[in-house]
Amino acid sequence: MYNAESYVGKHKTELDTPALLIDLDIMESNIQKMANYFRTVNAELRPHVKTHKTPIISHKQIAAGAIGVTCAKLGEAEAIVHSGIRDVLIANQIVSEHKIARLVNLAKHSDIMVAVDNKENVHAISEAAAAKGVTIRILVEVNIGMDRCGVNPGKETLELAQDICISPNLKFEGLMGYEGHTVANPNRLERETTTLSDMQKLIETKHLLEKNGINVSIMSGGGTGTFDITGSIPEMTEVQAGSYVFMDSTYGKVEGVGENFGCALSVLATVVSRPEKHRIIVDTGLKVLTKEFGIPQPIGIQGLEMVSLSEEHGKLQLTNGDISLKPSDRLEILPTHCCTNVNLHDRYFGIRNEIVESVWEITARGRSQ
């Protein structure tokens, strides 16, 4: 039987591969830097669980100053609440009967808050909450330009908020607007201009609600790429950044983000074959690496490029010079998208000074329901 814990205390290159590694010093520094920033502004940090999907990391973020967590899925929220965290936002729509039943059950053990963008859903949650005798905290998701979920800013949002305010067992808390269409734009000026102009739609909507006698306590949005743009808007009360905890090569190239946070995540690979001098094959394929943001590349090796991934193989090519890699040698690969990459693995190996310090189960891995 494979016993992951037996590697604690060993050098990272002794790990069986493929293995997902966290550089603990870098992760802790990222958590601290983000927490320090949020001590300087009005908004608070509510880090996104979707990146790490692991309660111990949420607890570290909260210990550093975060007010609670954001989740993408009910299954993530359940894992986090079971670990003892109460203040949880599901920044997503929970719509089917069975899921709403799970939501109101979770409210017995947490101060769960959920996003809505349509009246039918408001009524369904209200009825289920009343039957269970709980109150569900609600944010209206407003479409500020991403064109994913969300009602239109202005009158449509006002009407939905009014409906929530008169629905039994619901507490209207405020508005959420996620600027996902610009959050990873590498150009700082473009990102800032789009974010500030789109967030203005959320702010004007807040003012409209207040003019109509509705108190807007929470204004939530933001991601890693806009932590200090959305985070510095006085009207915003919460930022949902997630990727900053690990980073990846995509966010590493985003101006103003890559300079601030280090890449903590890597996938340890073993060379399984070198059929030709220029072709090196490793044991990390599509089942342990994601590539929707591009093919991940080896860390710290010049002249070597990963050119393709099949299910269980990664193909590397020498681009210049020579490299002394041979079968059974190890190398580390930097993910291009930390959030989806994590979801392919069962556990992290926490590394400090090259030694395995901890093994953490990725509890909410695959909890997409």
Ligand X SMILES: Cc1ncc(COP(=O)(O)O)c(C=O)c1O
> Per 3-state DSSP, what percentage of the chain is helix, strand, and coil (rounded to 5)?
30, 25, 45
Of the candidate residues 62, 114, 183, 344, the single one contacting ligand X (CB under 6 A): 183
Of the candidate residues 65, 180, 258, 262, the single one contacting ligand X (CB under 6 A): 180
Choices 19-27, 176-184, 255-263, 285-293; region in contact with ligand X by CB under 6 A: 176-184
Helix (H) or strand (E) holding 352: strand 347-352
Of the candidate residues 54, 230, 240, 270, the single one contacting ligand X (CB under 6 A): 240
- Each residue 46-65 as x (binds ligand X by CB under 6 A) or -, in order, gives --x--x--------------
- Each residue 245-264 as x (binds ligand X by CB under 6 A) or -, in order, gives --------------------
Nearest CB to ligand X, comparing residues 236 and 359: 236
Find the shortest distance in angstroms from Cβ 218 to ligand X: 14
Binding of ligand X at residue 242 (CB under 6 A)? yes
Residues numbered 216 to 235 that lie near ligand X (CB under 6 A) are 223-225
Which two tokens mark 210? Answer: 């207040």
Find the shortest distance in angstroms from Cβ 214 to ligand X: 23
Q: Which residues pair with 137 in a beta bridge?
A: 113, 171
Binding of ligand X at residue 178 (CB under 6 A)? yes
Q: 139 and 113 in contact (C-beta within 8 Å)?
A: yes
CA-wise closest residue to 223 among 368, 337, 364:
337
Find the shortest distance in angstroms from Cβ 225 to ligand X: 6
Find the shortest distance in angstroms from Cβ 245 to ligand X: 9
- Each residue 324-353 as x (binds ligand X by CB under 6 A) or -, in order, gives ---------------x--------------
Nearest CB to ligand X, comparing residues 143 and 224: 224
Question: Which residue is associated with the tokens 């507490």?
Answer: 171
CA-wise closest residue to 179 among 218, 135, 148:
148
Q: Which residues pair with 316 in a beta bridge?
A: 280, 306
Give the separation between CA 141 and CA 152, rounded to whole angstroms: 9
φ, ψ of residue 8 in degrees (nearest 5): -60, 130
Give the type of residue at 181. H
Give the separation between CA 24 and CA 221, rounded to whole angstroms: 27
How far CA 278 is from CA of 159, 236, 314, 320, in Å, comes to: 63, 53, 14, 9
Instruction: By CB under 6 A, name the binding residues for ligand X.
Output: 48, 51, 91, 178, 180, 183, 223-225, 240-243, 339
